[in-house]
Chains A and B, each alone.
Chain A
Amino acid sequence: MDTNTTWLRRKFREAGAGQSAVSMVRALSELRQRRPVNEIDGCWRALKAVAPQQVREVFRLGVTNPSSLVYRFFALEPLSLEKELLWAKTLLIGHSHGINLFRDFSDRVQKSILSDDYANASLELESFCRTSGWSLWAVELRCALEQVTVGTVGQRKWTANLQSQASNTVTGLLYEVFSDRNDDTFSYDAFIAKCTNSFPRFHFAAPWVTPYLFYRAMGHLENPEVTLPRILARDVTSCLIDYYESLIEALAFAALPASPTHLRITGNVVVSELRRSGFQDHRLGKLSLAFGDTDSEDQNYDDVEKLDNIFYAARGLQPVGDSFPNSDGLLSKLTSLAKACHDDGVAAQSSLTELMKIGINFKSLDAAVGTAIVGLTLAQPLSEPLMPLSCSFRKMRLQVDDVAAISFVDGVAALSRISTSLNVDAMVARELIDAIGGKGLPAKLESPTMTHLWLAGHFAQQLRFDELNQLLSLLENSGHGWDRQAAKLRIVELSRRNEVELALRLMEKWIIINPVYAFELPAKVIFQRRRWVIFRDLDAVLVGTIAHHVHVSNGDHTIGYICKMACRRFLLECRGHLEELFANATVARRAQLISFLRDVWVEENLSLCEQFDSTEKVRSDRLAVLQLLVTWDADREGEYAEAIKDLTIDQTLQRGLIRMDQSRIFVNESGISRWAEKELLQDYERWDRLRQSGSGAKLIDDLLRQYAVDPQNDQALKEFSSGVPTVADALLIGIVDRLYRRFVQDPSDGLDSYLSLRIRHGTLKGTVLGPLEEHALLYSASGFSREAFDTKWSRELDLAEQSKSVAMAAMSNFSTRVLALMDDLVSQRIQLCTIEKPHGVFQTTMPAGMGKLLASALAVDARHSFYTFLVTVYFLSWKVVEIGLNEIGKYIKGELKDKLQALFDELVVTLRQHQGALPLITKLTSVATATRVQCDAVSEWFRLPGQESDERYHLPSAIEIARVATCNVHRAFPVEVRKSSLPEKDFRFTASALSLLTDCLCVIFENAWKHSGLGGNVGPLDVEVTFEDEHNVLTLSVRSNLSCERRSSLNQGGGLLSLRSKYLGELPVHLVSREGGSGFPKLARYARYVPADATGKAFDFGIDEDRWYTRVSVPLYEKDGVYDAYF
């Protein structure tokens, strides 16, 4: 035994390592921090010698009780990643047998799962955990298996049991997170949004908690060089299975071509030693390759075909569905999803997210191809590595594709190895090697791979354009998404070579297929370092279309400008004879024009067309274009008709408004609603289902409450739930909080953005201080403008030199204090209340009282649609904002005004002591009065929008708007309306109610025309409106003429019967789509909340007395004599 080993053993003994497991962990943690890398092995040997029993107790494959995971012992103090890798190697080498058993089991259970034998997989897992213990790896797999075998309720029950044993710990929280992740009511995006929103709240618990949660929940690693050591240092004392899996993650990071050299070297050492020590894991082989060790032998694995087939299918080489006995099974599903993603890229959005969801839930297994396939699908050319290593991990055998996951130099060596082996890809590898060596490409790609794309990237970097062109052409002809992958590189290459028009044309091809490709294809490179002048002489339709979609995808203002200028050119050169242009255009050109007019020719892009000098003019032009599109693009008629109707309502309302709304306080609720539809609708629907289920009523502990609800909203949650918060309550408060935050903070549509543009932006200060500034009585904060004062006052004042100095000092002091008051108002008070702006009057999170308000608002009617819910939350949000508005208005009208007056008074008193200052005093007195008036005026800005306007509408307006809107959509339909009977009551409607009633009438008018069989000769439409005041239900009935032929075909041909059965049948209302050719599904939805006893059928249509009729009833909600209605 050498001296050093003796010394280390003594140190461990002195630290009490042999006394208990806890003291052993503490001793190890302390000593390994101080010892150099070359002593790691010695340190470990010494520890095992001193505390063998404790080492066995702590470093175990798994644990008996899953609730003790993560926290079984305290974590070791993290070291650098390099040291952690070496420690992991040393510590795990003695456990190769156990880890091999685990990997062997992992392969076995995967086989059962891919054969859809979930029952057997569960039994095997149970048995494995009995002998080897539990790990987070096993818990995650079990959750996923519970979900597929017994559904969400059963899965929730299983995890709830685990949670109850790990209450108020990160472990318990993780089990809730795993449960959410599997829950089929959570979309992948909703789950990610929830984690992203809530995990940072745990930052204050301990530095490791947030990154650990992100890693375990989403597989996400922020700043891996810092977070991976923390994860390894925690997992090592939890269980070795999780520790080993985290080590593989850490090695994958170290193997990236961009990782620091010392990490790559250390990673290679670790992998080599593990393999030499008998570790049987195909991922170690792939890692060796990534570290450049191409001599290592491929290991043999049985039954690898199933897994590899997923990738073959994704590459278009394997027909989907042919090889799977169970076409509904997981393997079949994974394969078809993978293929959809590979073929269609981001356009296969639902497949991508479904694959990600399956992938993240089964992430314990190699079959969890979600992330890998998505990475492969969305791969960007010229990035290194082209393909994530995780993708390579998911396949056991070494394939040519794996080369795309490593650097070029290592890749060439790997290809060489594959080409001389019995590998099925040997031929492809030889072809690739020949191509690299300049010996040409085959005439056709029999088996396109990611490595062909990788090679294309290499050709591009080496400026070997002929070969690049040839290879890309081969890929383009290979189908199955390879044409899209090739397009990515072509676009980059064309841009590099200044072939701008060709690059745009290629991009256009994909945009016309689906605009979402702007998010996947690297179109931004076309615009990099290129100004409008480069694009000026190109086709404006082409430039505008691409620039628009790229601007939408990345928000780059300079690209937005190019789009606007293209629109300007289109206006000058094409807009005037658009119909002629379209008539003479080819089919392809028509498609381009339609795409441009539909997506690009919108108000936001026309701000540089000064010919449109008002909102009304720009919207009129949009209306005219939409009318053309209705006839040119019949497939989207419904979409255009909706837009026309909205614009018609908007225009009509504007003509009716007497004056512009002067309020500067504004929130673009439509913009927020669009965001909410995308981000919150699923959560809302989940809440709706949850509150009706037993699990929604489950009480939650403190830590889980933090996961669901921002701690700042605890008060609101307690108020809402009367002090007993349940899972459903927490979810709802979380939704409302996110909506409220968006309402006040959205960078373009929220309250703060309008406060900034309309109030803080100098206007307020300028208005209040205007009188002072006009008379040169105010000096700037950062410079005493004595010249301005002198110019204005020196001739009027007759002050002695000494008096003048005193007066000037007093004026300076006055100015400074006045400006400080204004700065305080603008920079501190008219702000969102944040840590930086604690005096801001507008709350950024739900304030106390909101919970109560929400509870009472929701209690009014339990049958809320998402849209009524939004309206309710907006109403409450305005109530909260109103508190701030009142506070600030009151402050300006009272305290600020008084403080300013006091400063004036103080100045006047000082000046009175000096002869000759009278003209100044007189002016100050009048300016003080004017300033007070300005304060009063400004205080009026702080009121809710719309309160003083005439935004109340009447029934005849709704009928008239519907008539005009229908005419605007169907120009061949001369809508003539006869109001045969209206209620005597003079209703006043909100804009929302007006919009809903107009929408109903438009659908009814359109159907009257379409069903009449009389074309333009349909004659008058008789409108009858009744009101049932007990339940506040308004019923609209319209009757219209019907031709004999149409009547007979509807009656005898079964057409009417079929229509009635479709829309008036038993279809559950939540399944009724809002869209539809006839618009009737929409009416069915509007009518669904009418109480059964309020009227007859809430929605009906058919033939009565030889005339066509449609009747729909909608519930109204009265507030202060004004009626509202909700979508």
Chain B
Amino acid sequence: MTHTSEKVVLVIEDDEPKQRSIVSFLSDHLLSGFRIDVAQSLSSALTSLTKVSVTLAVVDMSLPTFDLTKDRRGGGKPQGFGGADILRFIDSETTDTRSVVVTQYEEFDLMGNGARQDLSALETLLKQDLDSRFLGVIHYSSQHGPWQRELLAVLRQLKLTKE
């Protein structure tokens, strides 16, 4: 891993309006000295995570395998649980990176059998699977929804806010 002196928050999100919204929110609230990187797929997220020391990763659950700009196949097979693989990667391959999920889904097929479960079940499942650097699941409803308060709380917990 290449470590730079610059501190990085990585937003892993393929949906552009949501991505812009999260980046804009982070720009407004993050301490100065932080750089916000964006990854739009599983592949580019891993590239960032292996090259840069990331302080916080804001992870979407559903991601394409590859960046749409590089892949003529629409990003490869959609990874309904691609975000979970990224969280596990952070868990096993990094030492200091914290992670939080920001998802637009309200329910997930956790077992792959069509049975839907809600976000709290997802959070419980992920917490069982990951260490304490995983900070939870936030529901994103729209640009100015309550997710901002919850993400702000995460930033405060990590002492990454301007205040």
Q: Which residues of A are in contact with B by a Cβ distance under 8 Å?
A: 531-533, 536, 555, 557-558, 561, 564-565, 603-604, 607-608, 610, 612-616, 618, 654, 657, 659-661, 745, 747-748, 753-754, 756-758, 761-763, 765-767, 769-770, 773-774, 776, 778-783, 785, 788, 819
Question: What CA separation (Å) do A209 and B82 show in the bound complex?
Answer: 44
Q: Flag if B46 contacts A782 (CB, 8 Å).
A: no
For B85, the chain A residues whose CB sits under 8 A away are 557, 561, 564, 607-608
**Inter-chain contact A763/B15, CB cutoff 8 Å:** yes
Kindly list 6 other residue pairs between chains A and B, CB separation below 8 angstroms, not including A757-B78, A766-B16: A561-B84, A748-B80, A748-B112, A753-B80, A773-B142, A774-B143
CB-defined contacts of B46 to chain A, threshold 8 Å:
608, 610
- Of all chain B residues, which has the CB nearest A823? B141
Residues of B close to A561: CB separation below 8 A: 84-85, 88
Interface 9-residue window, one of B4-12, B30-38, B66-74, B154-162: B66-74
> Which residues in B have their C-beta under 8 angstroms from that of A532?
88, 92
8 Å CB contact of A773 from B72, B81, B112, B144: B144
Q: Is B104 located at the chain interface by the 8 A CB criterion?
A: yes
Tell whether, in the assembled complex, residue B72 and residue A654 are in contact, meaning their CB atoms are under 8 Å apart: yes
Query: In the complex, A1111 Cα to B21 Cα: how many Å?
Result: 62
If the complex has contacts A561-B88, A608-B89, A762-B15, are A745 and B78 also in contact, measured as CB distance less than 8 A? no
User: Assuming A603-B77, A780-B141, is B109 touching A747 (CB within 8 A)?
Assistant: yes
Smallest CB gap from A789: residue in B: B144
Contacts of A783 in B (CB 8 A): 145-146, 149
Q: What does DSSP make chain B's interface, helix, strand, loop or mixed?
A: loop
Instruction: Tell me whether B17 and A773 are in contact (CB under 8 A).
Output: yes
CB of A533 within 8 A of CB of B79, answer no
Closest residue of chain B to A778 (Cβ to Cβ) is B142
Q: Which residues of A contact B77 (CB under 8 A)?
A: 603-604, 607
B113 within 8 A of A: yes
Contact present for B42 and A607 (CB under 8 Å): yes
Residue in A607, A612, A616, A778 whose CB lies within 8 Å of B79: A607
Contact of B145 among A616, A618, A780 (CB under 8 A): A780
B91 in contact with A531 (CB, 8 Å): yes
Q: Can you list 8 pairs linking A and B with CB atoms under 8 Å apart?
A: A557-B81, A557-B84, A613-B70, A654-B73, A747-B113, A773-B142, A780-B141, A781-B145
CA of A612 to CA of B41, assembled, Å: 12
Contact of A780 with B142 in the complex, beta carbons under 8 Å: yes
Docked complex Cα distance between A134 and B113 (Å): 43
In the complex the two chains form, what is the Cα distance from A769 to B145 in whole Å?
13
Inter-chain CA distance A782–B142, complex, in Å, is 10
Residue of A nearest to B73 (CB): A615
B96 within 8 A of A: no
Q: Of A555, A607, A614, A618, which contacts B72 at CB under 8 A?
A: A614
Q: Knowing A607-B85, A770-B17 are in contact, say whether A780-B72 is a contact too (CB < 8 A).
A: no
A773 to B143, CA, bound (A): 6
Q: Are B92 and A778 in contact (CB under 8 A)?
A: no
A615 to B66, CA, bound (A): 7
Tell me the minimal C-beta distance from A822 to chain B in angstroms.
Answer: 9
Contacts of A657 on B, CB cut-off 8 Å?
72
Pairwise interchain contact B146-A780, C-beta atoms closer than 8 A = yes
A762–B140 touching, CB < 8 Å: yes
Inter-chain contacts of A531 with B (CB < 8 A): 88, 91-92, 129
Chain A proximity mask over B45-85: 1 for CB below 8 Å, otherwise 0: 01100100000000000100111101111101111111011
Among candidates B72, B144, B149, residue contacting A779 with C-beta atoms closer than 8 Å: B144
- Within 8 Å by CB of B92, from A533, A612, A776, lies A533
Q: How far is the CA of A603 from the CA of B76 in the complex (A)?
A: 9
Alpha-carbon distance A614/B42, docked complex (angstroms): 11
The residue on A at minimum CB distance from B107 is A756
Whether A762 and B104, one on each chain, are in contact in the complex, defined by CB atoms closer than 8 angstroms, is yes
Given A531-B91, A612-B43, A745-B114, answer yes or no on A781-B142 (Cβ-Cβ < 8 Å). Answer: yes
For the complex formed, measure the closest distance between the CB of B57 and the CB atoms of chain A, giving whole angstroms: 15
Residue of B nearest to A619 (CB): B73
When C-beta atoms are compared, the residue in chain B nearest to A779 turns out to be B144
Listed from nearest, the 3 A-B pairs whose CB atoms lie closest are: A762-B104, A780-B145, A766-B17
Contact A766:B15 (CB < 8 A) given known A615-B71, A780-B141: yes
Contact B142 A819 (CB under 8 A): yes
Check if B29 is an interface residue, CB within 8 A of chain A: no
Which residue of B is nearest A754, CB measured? B78
Do B17 and A615 touch (CB < 8 A)? Answer: no
For A615, the chain B residues whose CB sits under 8 A away are 65-66, 71-73, 76
Taking a contact as CB atoms under 8 Å apart, the answer to whether B112 and A747 are in contact is yes
Pair A613/B15 contact, Cβ less than 8 Å: no
Q: Which residue in chain B gives the minimum CB-CB distance to A564?
A: B85
Q: Could you say which residues of chain B place their CB within 8 Å of the CB of A748?
A: 80, 112
Contact partner of B111 (CB less than 8 A), chosen from A555, A604, A765, A781, is A555
Task: For A660, list chain B residues within 8 Å (CB).
Answer: 68, 72-74
CA distance A532 to B91 in the complex (A): 10
Give the residue name and chain of the B residue nearest to A791 (CB). Answer: B28
Report the nearest B residue to A746, measured CB to CB. Answer: B114
In the bound assembly, the distance between CA atoms of A637 and B29 in angstroms comes to: 60
B78 touches A758 (CB 8 A): yes
- Taking CB atoms, residues of chain B closer than 8 Å to A614 are 66, 70-73, 76
> Given the complex of chains A and B, what is the CA–CA distance between A423 and B51 in angstroms?
72
Give the CA-CA distance A781 to B144 in the complex, in Å.
9
Taken together as a complex, chains A and B put the C-alpha atoms of A533 and B84 apart, in Å, by 16
Shortest CB distance B79–A (Å): 6
Q: What is the chain B residue whose CB lies nearest that of A531? A: B92
CA distance A21 to B25 in the complex (A): 80
Chain B residues positioned under 8 Å from A558 (CB to CB) = 88, 129
Are A761 and B17 also in contact (CB < 8 A) when A616-B71, A780-B142 are?
Answer: no
| Min C-beta distance of B90 to chain A, whole Å | 12
Closest B residue by C-beta to A555: B112
Choice from A654, A757, A778 contacting B62 with Cβ under 8 Å: A757
Contact with A610, one of B16, B50, B80, B114 (Cβ below 8 angstroms): B50
**Which residues of A lie under 8 Å from residue B68 when comparing CB positions?**
660
* A778-B17 Cα distance, complex, nearest whole Å: 14
Chain B residue numbers with a CB within 8 Å of A756 are 80
**B145 nearest CB across to chain A (Å):** 4
Instruction: With CB as the reference atom, state the residue of chain B lying closest to A561.
Output: B88
Measured between beta carbons, the chain A residues less than 8 angstroms from B133 are none
Q: Looking across the interface, which residue of chain B has its beta carbon closest to that of A657?
A: B72
B105: chain A residues within 8 A (beta carbon)? 761-762
* A-chain residues with CB within 8 Å of residue B66 when the two chains form the complex: 613-615
Q: Which of the residues A533, A608, A745, A781 comes within 8 Å of B42, measured between beta carbons? A: A608
Please name all residues of chain A whose beta carbon is closer than 8 Å to the beta carbon of B127 when the two chains form the complex: none
The interface residues of chain B lying within 8 Å CB-to-CB of A779 are 144
Question: Which residues from A are CB-within-8-Å of B82?
Answer: 607
How far, in angstroms, from A531 to B81 measured CA to CA in the complex?
17
User: What residues of chain A lie closer than 8 Å to B145, measured between beta carbons?
Assistant: 780-783, 785
Question: Is the Cβ of A610 less than 8 Å from the Cβ of B15?
Answer: no
How distant is the Cα of A765 from the Cα of B16 in the complex, in angstroms? 12
Q: Give the nearest-CB partner of B143 in chain A.
A: A773
Q: Which residues of B contact A654 (CB under 8 A)?
A: 72-73
Measured CA separation A819–B145 after assembly (Å): 12
Query: Once the chains bind, are A773 and B21 in contact (CB under 8 Å)?
Result: yes
Q: Which residues of A contact B16 (CB under 8 A)?
A: 766
Q: How far apart are A775's CB and chain B's nearest CB, in angstroms? A: 10
Nearest Cβ on chain B to A834's Cβ, whole angstroms: 12
Residue of B nearest to A615 (CB): B73
Chain A residues with CB under 8 A of B80: 748, 753, 756-757
Q: Whose C-beta in chain A lies nearest to the C-beta of B17?
A: A766
Chain B 121-151 per-residue mask, 1 if CB under 8 angstroms from chain A, else 0: 0000000010000000000111111101100
Query: How far does the Cβ of A614 sit from chain B's closest Cβ, in whole Å?
Result: 4
A660 to B69 CA separation, bound complex (whole angstroms)? 10
Nearest Cβ distance between residue A800 and chain B, in whole angstroms?
25
What distance in Å separates the Cβ of A815 from its nearest Cβ neighbour in chain B? Answer: 9
Distance (whole angstroms) from the CB of B111 to the closest CB of chain A: 7
B95 to chain A, nearest CB (A): 12
Query: A555-B112, A613-B66 known; A776 and B74 CB under 8 Å?
Result: no
Q: Could you tell me the distance in whole angstroms from the C-beta of A266 to the nearest C-beta in chain B?
A: 36
Query: Which interface residue of B17, B79, B105, B111 has the most chain A CB atoms within 10 A?
Result: B17
